Structure 1
């Protein structure tokens, strides 16, 4: 199993652009061999990038980020605020759309060029660690759940009616081992050999069943930690969390 090799920063924390609470600063390896600091808010599932940091993250550091997200998967999540403020100058961040290898995603930028804020899902889309769900996979999921959270922007999608996000118009996408492997290979490093060997052909129905089972397991763990009794039918299906769980379950084989 992979072990986390990053360290937490001792520098003064910055405020999350959404909830205004202190973000956690974690050090990761950069593509140039140096170290860079990413500021993460697990409650809002967001990352603050100082200028150019989002392009400098080393491929191997992605596995460290996966492990960190998996470790913190049971924590309670908050929706993003209507207004997001730059942690450097306190001015409102500007919402915009970018198009990358993984598709369309939402990013929030500081007009003063102090940096950008992105959700965990948007970061995965930007780096190409997702693939679009096929029509058959969407239909298989729609037969099992009512709504999902868009991986690119976090918006609620009625999967029975919409086959794209009504908020950001992104195609419905999934984080999975093959997509991660292909993305890392494009960056010049294939760090998921075990996942590739473990990959097997899955029908849309089988994939949907696997995602549902993983998300239900995660939801049970979260409810146990919070000591709350929630009905599964009233929860929104978290496609990003299920995808992280799917990748991690293959990584540890």
Structure 2
């Protein structure tokens, strides 16, 4: 049994989850994913990112949703390989659904991907339309960029001012295509409307704020209502999980 790896960013132990996998004609197997929910990243041993079955994607969405209120930690400037502890090299890959960032080990031990980068890699995202951005701006103060993770004032910026990425959302229709041929709890629904997305953002952030208040045991009450900083990635996960569970 291999030792529990440390997160390339925070250096805390990652959680190991066994998911269903396939090996391109060699049959089914098990893929052990190393996940840090605080840093919102996944470590893939060499080529593991290509071995996840569609059913494993369902399990991964469920896991991410269960940890939606976990405290988020920003990625460190220098990441280290959990196998050889050497620095990881930052690079960009491009697929049809967009450009995404990964961190690779020069010794080919594997790669570290943010949750959002993995979803871009698999083609599970779409860019928000101008109308959707305008609708969110009326209800949400800021969002986290799915490209670099920076908070963005959606009321004045229609693209991330830090990495220039367009705002994107996990697309349930793309997930539906990936799950074709696999049994799920209910038939996938259509892509969410902008009001549904805004509702998901508000509910998720209120859940997160509530969890933080309980954890920190704030010493006083009577505070003004928290401002909403929406996490488009978490909102997309929530919409997809609700779709898969027939809600």
Correspondence list, 1:1-253, <5 A? 11-32=2-23, 33-185=28-180, 189=181, 194-196=186-188, 198-199=189-190, 202=193, 204=194, 206-223=195-212, 225-228=214-217, 231-233=225-227, 236-253=229-246
**Alpha-carbon distance change, 201 to 171 in structure 1, aligned in 2, over 3 angstroms:** closer
> Retained in 1: the 8 A contact 2:90–2:103?
yes
* Structure 1: distance between partners of 2:120 and 2:129: 16
> Retained in 2: the 8 A contact 1:164–1:171?
yes
**Alpha-carbon distance change, 109 to 200 in structure 1, aligned in 2, over 3 angstroms:** closer
1:227 CA drift (Å): 4.4
* Structure 2: distance between partners of 1:247 and 1:228: 32
**Alpha-carbon distance change, 178 to 39 in structure 1, aligned in 2, over 3 angstroms:** same
Please say which of residues 47-56 and 139-148 is displaced more in the overlay: 139-148
Query: Between Structure 1 and Structure 2, how many residues are aligned?
Result: 237
In structure 1, the gaps of 5 or more residues are 1-9
Structure 2 counterpart SS, 1:49: strand
**Alpha-carbon distance change, 97 to 118 in structure 1, aligned in 2, over 3 angstroms:** same
* Structure 1: distance between partners of 2:29 and 2:96: 25
1:146 CA drift (Å): 2.7
> Retained in 2: the 8 A contact 1:26–1:38?
yes
Structure 2 counterpart SS, 1:73: coil
In structure 2, the gaps of 5 or more residues are none
Structure 2 counterpart SS, 1:178: helix
* Structure 1: distance between partners of 2:11 and 2:4: 11
Structure 2 counterpart SS, 1:98: strand
* Structure 1: distance between partners of 2:147 and 2:238: 17
* Structure 1: distance between partners of 2:100 and 2:78: 18
TM-score scaled to structure 2, two decimals? Answer: 0.85
**Alpha-carbon distance change, 215 to 99 in structure 1, aligned in 2, over 3 angstroms:** same
TM-score scaled to structure 1, two decimals? Answer: 0.83
> Retained in 2: the 8 A contact 1:30–1:58?
yes
CA-atom RMSD in angstroms:
2.3
